[in-house]
Amino acid sequence: MNADPADQRRLLDLAELDVRIRRTEVAKANPPQAARVQELLTHRSTLTQELARLAGARDDLRAELSRIESDVAVVDARAERDAQRLAASANAKEAQSLENELASLARRKSDLEDGELSVMERLETAESEVTAQEALLAETNAEGARLSAEAKTAVADATRDLEAATRDRAAVAASVPSDLLAMYDRLAARGNGAGLLRRGTCEACNMVLSGTDLSSIRAASADAVLTCPECGAILVRTEESGL
């Protein structure tokens, strides 16, 4: 195939835009914050499960404390009733029975209060653990929200760059002869479509061409469409080619 050297040079602009398009497509699909956001989502799930466990343990202690407080209230009410009956009793046997019961209630209350103190201490620890876990979860959520916002901005920026590059590519492609463009597109579909030959090196694959290959290139006409013997990309020759 033959094509005007100026048209062949336009393929370099096309190749540069294709690289830009691929880069922005990757940036749009995978913003730099995406990996960390996924890590945070996994971490948040773990933190949430642990928070549920800690909150459940705290709630159990609250329920236990409430039960003990209720038992103490029952003991106090019964002791008050027995004390009133003792004060009004004139029967020695009944009085003795009431005194024994009051002593038993006092011991029962003492045991309940000891248990209450123990539960209160455990509850204080549990409350602290829940608060600390909630802080960790809040911190994780805050980082996730910040990174998600940054990722949305990055995607929006990449989308704008992609749209601009796509428009520019369409404009450049429209100025390239259809047969040359078809050849370029076919090659670009499997790798680099075109590359500058600079000082004996194909910039599409960065391979230095052999002396034999360079001799063949020198012998070709200026409008001949040549391809790199290493990567198959269209070799665009300019004054920088070193031929």
- Does 99 lie in the same domain as 84? yes
pLDDT exceeds 80 at position 144: yes
- Residue 201 inside a domain? The answer is yes
Q: What is the largest CA-CA distance in the chain?
A: 136
With the C-alpha atoms ordered 137, 138, 139, 142, is the resulting torsion angle positive or negative? positive
Tell me, yes or no, whether 48 and 147 share the same domain: yes
52 and 15 assigned to the same domain:
no
Dihedral of alpha carbons 149, 153, 159, 162, sign: negative
d(CA 7, CA 15): 13
The last residue of a domain, from among 110, 127, 160? 160
Asked whether residue 107 falls in the same domain as residue 75, the answer is yes
Can you tell me the mean pLDDT for 79-108?
A: 91
* Position 107 in a domain: yes
CB 37 within 8 A of CB 206: no
Domain span including residue 220: 5-26+175-241
For residue range 82-95, list pLDDT tens digits in order: 999 988 888 889 88
Query: Are 105 and 37 contacting, i.e. CB atoms less than 8 angstroms apart?
Result: no
Whether residue 190 sits in one domain with residue 130: no
Q: In the predicted model, is pLDDT for residue 81 greater than 90?
A: yes
3 state DSSP class of 90: coil
94 lies in some domain: yes
Q: By CB neighbour count within 10 A (0-12 exposed, 13-18 middle, 19+ buried), where does 97 fall? A: middle
Mind giving me the DSSP string for 142-211? HHHHHHHHHHHHHHHHHHHHHHHHHHHHHHHHHTS-HHHHHHHHHHHTTS-SEEEEETTEETTTTEEPPH
Q: Are residues 138 and 197 in the same domain?
A: no
Band (pLDDT 50/70/90 cuts) for residue 132 is very high
**Residue that terminates a domain, selected from 103, 137, 160:** 160
pTM of the predicted structure, to 2 decimals: 0.69
* Residue 95 domain-assigned (yes or no): yes
Which of 118, 137, 160 is the last residue before a domain boundary? 160
- Is the pLDDT at 243 greater than 80? The verdict is no
Instruction: For residue 55, name the pLDDT band (cuts at 50, 70, 90).
Output: very high
Does residue 62 have a pLDDT over 80?
Answer: yes
pLDDT bucket at 178, cuts 50 / 70 / 90: very high
The pLDDT value recorded for residue 193 is 95
**What is the count of structural domains for the chain?**
2
Q: Is the pLDDT of residue 118 over 90?
A: yes
Q: Quick one: 195 and 145 in the same domain?
A: no
pLDDT in tens, 192-235: 999 999 999 999 999 999 999 999 999 999 999 999 999 999 99
- Residue 167 maps to a domain: no
Domain identity same for 137 and 208: no
Tell me the percentage of the chain whose pLDDT exceeds 70. Answer: 100
pLDDT band at 191 (very low <50, low <70, confident <90, very high): confident
CATH code of residue 114: 1.10.287.1490
Distance CA 21, CA 161 (A): 8
Range list of H helices, the chain: 5-29, 34-88, 92-174, 178-188, 211-219
- The CA R_g of the chain, rounded to the nearest whole Å, is 42
Residue 190 sits in the same domain as residue 139? no
38 & 94 share domain: yes
What is the residue-averaged pLDDT of the chain?
Answer: 95
